[in-house]
Structure 1
Amino acid sequence: MARISYDDQTAAAFKAVREIRRDGLAHWRDAVRRHLGPGPGMTVADIGAGTGAFAAAFADWFGVDVLAVEPSAAMRAWIPARPDIQVFEGHVGDLPLPADSVDGVWLSLVVHHVSDLAAAAREVRRVLRPGAPVLLRQGFSGRVDAVRTFPWEFFPEVARMVTDTCPSVDEVCRAFATAGFRRDALEAVPETLMSPAEFLDQLDAFRRADTNIRRLSEEEFRRGRERLRHATGTEPRTNQLDLLVLR
């Protein structure tokens, strides 16, 4: 499925510095509640679950059971071991889940890693119960300007990589339409991140956690660090990503 792989060092760094703190996700909690209508007894599949931040959040926020599907063994090792979260090896193109088994699918920053979106859509359709939604947290081409987005504003080379790999809303909707999905909602959701000062302090760990930053030359990385040093502030920054809901 993905262009990237996570070793133990990368996964540990991702857990330490890439996960958004729970208190920065309040708007996502509210948006998911509106579109999913979650409640006890429901089961949600978190596909591409990473280190389990959203899996744990969904279980805590809504009292749902979560099936966390993640291709990387190093990332799966960080997903919390608890009764309301089951962890599976797999990816969106080949889900280890029964048909008609989940009340919602969550895909957070996943679809830009997927080479065959139509095949992924068919797998998502297979595991969803009739009428259940798929919720995508994503930056979309034409709706995200990575050059002006924290923290990529300090690393324009990474900003270009991010922008070039983002699919458009229309591309995703067309691919999922082949499996019978239609667009139900699209909204920008704010999320609160770290401050520039915190980012500077954690930059070396962030480099280990982020495969795009790791692709920079030493000179490109040095220039980005200098831009960040001159822009240091102590207030947390807020970005927006889109929530695309398909049914």
Structure 2
Amino acid sequence: MSQDTNYDTFAEAYSTENETSLINAFYERPAMLKLAGDVRNRRILDAGCGSGPLAEALVGRGATVTGFDSSQEMINLARKRLGEEAELLVADLGRPLPFPDDTFDDVVASLVFHYLEDWVEPLTEIRRVLRPGGRIIMSVNHPIIYPWTNPGTDYFKPAKYSDEHTFNGQPGTLTYWHRPLHAMTDAFAQAGFQIEAVSEPPYSTDAPAEIIPPQFKDRTSFLSFIFFVLRAQ
């Protein structure tokens, strides 16, 4: 994807953190799998697959998975994880995808689109590789997060911003694009998608108590991401 975040510099640390963190392993990934539903015998494209944990879970549920990421290091890690169980390649969501029209039943895009300034062109390209009536299941930063964490900013104004993180003890910078909810839904419509579901899910009840921050102990949910299921028209 065309973005400023360079996962090659902290791919292994990010992947290790992703395996057991509340935000990934017990919140985002279970929500994506629940929205995907029964994927047996479906051909799925994992757009921005990272080191492959979602692809692995989909393969385990009977899907045929192809994954791509713009980070060579992430693809190297995904190949170690998946071996011959999935086709994996380096590709950029901001450019034409190397797949024929009408190839996939579903596309999953897990925490990918918030790195992109433009959504319409990548969504249009995803619609091209989806079979008629195919779905894209996607998660992105919830649009309320940016104004919450940056008081005084204009929710309605698209903005580029960066957050500093520590992944398994290694620092990493993630650079995002904030956009209001209506800008997201406008892009879906322009690219030829209809919204089937919008989800703000709770974290998994399987989450170990020791990884839940104190401020969430008395809550069953929190806002970090927003999830969509879109149907190609």
Fold match by TM threshold 0.5: yes
What amino acid is the match of 2:33? R
Aligned to 2:34: 30
Aligned to 2:18: 18
List per-residue Cα deviations over 1:90-111 (Å, max 9, x = no partner): 1223312221100011111111
Structure 1 spans left out of the alignment, 5+ residues:
148-156, 200-227
What amino acid is the match of 1:84? E
Higher-helix-fraction structure: 1
Change (3 A) 1:239 1:96: farther
CA RMSD of aligned residues (A): 3.5
Aligned to 1:72: 71
Aligned to 1:186: 198
List per-residue Cα deviations over 1:200-221 (Å, max 9, x = no partner): xxxxxxxxxxxxxxxxxxxxxx
Change (3 A) 1:90 1:96: same
Higher-strand-fraction structure: 2
Maintained 8 Å contact 2:4/2:175: no
Structure 2 spans left out of the alignment, 5+ residues:
150-161, 165-172
| SS at structure 1 position matched to 2:77 | coil
Change (3 A) 1:146 1:43: farther
What amino acid is the match of 1:12? E
| SS at structure 2 position matched to 1:182 | strand
What amino acid is the match of 1:76? I
Query: Does residue 68 of structure 2 align to residue 84 of structure 1?
Result: no
- Number of aligned positions between the proteins: 200
* Distance apart, 1:68 and its partner CA: 0.6
Aligned to 1:242: 226
Maintained 8 Å contact 1:195/1:233: no
Aligned to 1:205: none
Aligned to 1:138: 140
2:126 counterpart (121, 124, 127):
124
Q: Distance in 1 between matches of 2:208 and 2:77?
A: 25
| SS at structure 2 position matched to 1:45 | strand
Maintained 8 Å contact 1:109/1:138: yes
Change (3 A) 1:29 1:164: closer
What amino acid is the match of 1:243? F
Aligned to 1:104: 106
The percent identity for this pair of structures is 23
